[in-house]
């Protein structure tokens, strides 16, 4: 079934809609598990997409996100502002407010944001800002503006989420390591998984985390990073043939080396995929391949996101 986009918007040609009727995961998620990277899109008629966006998605509402959360067995969501909404955080705020405390948000703000606006975002559940360096998604923002924003949000106890491609890390290194907050790197810094795990490119990323204890990463989006599959689709993968096998060594290395600084998320509704749309239930079943023990799974899915997003409720040590 083709998903609509409302409000007079037209989906980007070739747009892949999110997967209809995902399977129920075989993995029994630990109690209180958090999907720490997902988005809401619109609906466009209520929350229009930003004029400067680089793509127009199908709508993906908060009700649909919360239904997926319950179906997969997650307790909570961290909703990350998608670039198609620019710095207009209304859809994100609406979703956080409607969640009954079960969703936190990562917003996108401009330098012109006022202190009162930041406090209102905090009251809605926002706990971080996102800086995006992926050229196909955003126009360039000068680094001094971003640093200014980071300095403004630091006193609120917020963190910075960054999204970039592996080949751009050398140029971004000094900026990232100067940030005054916890820094969370989206999607493992997008490694090229055809390159060796112990090669210079991924090695630089591992060094970034090793030398900077304030830097965390999301071991998410194998469906974006995989080159040789197989995809997380019914009949295409299984216990003997895990999905996205070429991504597993990279993600597992990060989980095992930095078990207290990794997060996991579905990335639903999976913007801009070109090849296939994963079954989100099978994506959850990918987790044991990268976090092979119950303890690693608990840190990845409960302890770490709770410590970062719900510290007042986190009872761990």
Ligand X SMILES: O=C(O)c1cc(C(=O)O)oc(=O)c1
CB of 164 to ligand X, least distance (A): 11
Query: Is position 12 an interface residue for ligand X (rule: CB under 6 A)?
Result: no
Does 267 contact ligand X by CB under 6 A?
yes
Antiparallel, parallel or unpaired: β 262-263 and 76-80: unpaired
List the 262-263 sheet strands across, edge first: 34-38, 76-80, 103-107, 126-132, 159-163, 183-185, 215-218, 262-263
Verify binding: residue 82, ligand X, rule CB under 6 A. Answer: yes
Considering only residues 168 to 227 of the shown chain, the ones binding ligand X according to CB under 6 A are 186, 224
Tell me which of 27, 50, 87, 137 binds ligand X, using CB under 6 A: 137
Give me the long-range contacts of 132-135 (CB less than 8 A, separation at least 24). Answer: 132/83, 132/108, 132/162, 132/163, 132/164, 133/162, 133/163, 133/164, 133/165, 133/168, 133/172, 134/163, 134/164, 134/165, 134/190
Q: Whole-number minimum distance, CB 220 to ligand X, in Å?
A: 8
Query: Does residue 23 touch ligand X according to CB under 6 A?
Result: no
Smallest distance from ligand X to CB 271, Å: 4
Whether 267 is catalytic is yes
Residue of 264, 306, 235 whose CA lies nearest to 27: 264
Stretch of 86-94, 114-122, 225-233, 264-272 lying at the interface with ligand X (CB under 6 A)? 264-272
Kindly name the residue from 35, 59, 186, 267 that is annotated as catalytic.
267
Look at strands 183-185 and 262-263 and give their pairing: unpaired
- Single out the segment in contact with ligand X by CB under 6 A; choices: 117-125, 168-176, 267-275, 284-292: 267-275
Tell me the closest approach of the beta carbon of residue 233 to ligand X, in angstroms: 19
**Separation CA 200–CA 15 (nearest Å):** 34
Q: Which two tokens stand for residue 56?
A: 């127009």
Of the candidate residues 23, 83, 266, 297, the single one contacting ligand X (CB under 6 A): 83
**Which stretch, 43-51, 239-247, 266-274, 284-292, contacts ligand X (CB under 6 A)?**
266-274
Nearer to ligand X among residue 44 and residue 271 (C-beta): 271
Which DSSP state fits 69? H
Identify the CA nearest to 247 among candidates 270, 218, 269.
Answer: 218
* By CB under 6 A, residue 17 contacts ligand X: no
Tell me the backbone φ, ψ of residue 241, rounded to 5 degrees. -135, 80
- The total number of residues shown for the chain amounts to 317
For position 42 contacting ligand X by CB under 6 A, the verdict is no
Examine residue 35 and tell whether it contacts ligand X (CB under 6 A). no
Spacing of C-alpha 115 from chain mean position? 26
Q: Which residue has the tokens 């710095």?
A: 87
Helices assigned H by DSSP within 73-221: 90-98, 115-124, 143-153, 169-178, 200-211
Closest CB to ligand X among 223 and 285? 223
Q: Is position 128 an interface residue for ligand X (rule: CB under 6 A)?
A: no
Give least dist CB 272 to ligand X, A: 4
- According to the binding rule CB under 6 A, does residue 141 interact with ligand X? no
Task: State both tokens at 274.
Answer: 């070109």
| Residue 137 beta carbon to ligand X: minimum distance, rounded to whole angstroms | 5
Residues binding ligand X: number (CB under 6 A): 9
Q: What is the contact surface with ligand X in residues (CB under 6 A)?
A: 82-84, 137, 186, 224, 267, 271-272
Positions annotated as catalytic residues are: 267
């Amino acid at each position: 079934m083709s998903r609509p986009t409302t409000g007079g918007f037209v989906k980007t040609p070739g747009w892949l809609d999110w997967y209809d009727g995902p399977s129920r995961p075989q993995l029994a998620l630990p109690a209180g598990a958090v999907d720490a990277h997902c988005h809401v899109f619109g609906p466009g008629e209520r929350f229009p997409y930003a004029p400067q966006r680089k793509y127009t998605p199908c709508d993906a509402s908060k009700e649909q996100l919360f239904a997926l959360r319950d179906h997969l067995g997650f307790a909570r969501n961290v909703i990350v502002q998608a670039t198609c909404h620019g710095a207009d955080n209304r859809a994100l705020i609406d979703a956080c407010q409607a969640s009954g405390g079960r969703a936190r948000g990562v917003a996108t703000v401009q330098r012109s944001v006022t202190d009162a606006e930041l406090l209102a975002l905090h009251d809605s559940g926002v706990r971080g800002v996102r800086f995006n360096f992926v050229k196909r998604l955003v126009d360039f923002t000068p680094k001094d503006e971003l640093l200014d924003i980071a300095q403004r949000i630091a006193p609120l106890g917020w963190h910075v989420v960054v999204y970039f491609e592996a080949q751009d890390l050398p140029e971004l290194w000094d900026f990232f390591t100067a940030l005054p907050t916890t820094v969370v790197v989206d999607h493992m810094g997008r490694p090229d998984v055809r390159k060796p795990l112990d090669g210079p490119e991924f090695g630089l990323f591992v060094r970034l985390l090793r030398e900077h204890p304030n830097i965390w990463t999301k071991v998410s989006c194998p469906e974006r990073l995989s080159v040789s599959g197989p995809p997380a689709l019914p009949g295409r993968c299984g216990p003997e043939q895990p999905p996205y096998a070429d991504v597993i060594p990279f993600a597992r290395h990060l989980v095992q080396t930095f078990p207290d600084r990794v997060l996991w998320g579905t990335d639903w509704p999976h913007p801009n995929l070109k090849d296939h749309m994963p079954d989100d239930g099978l994506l959850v079943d990918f987790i044991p391949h990268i976090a092979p023990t119950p303890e690693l799974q608990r840190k990845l899915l409960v302890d770490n996101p709770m410590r970062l997003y719900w510290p007042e409720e986190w009872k761990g040590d």
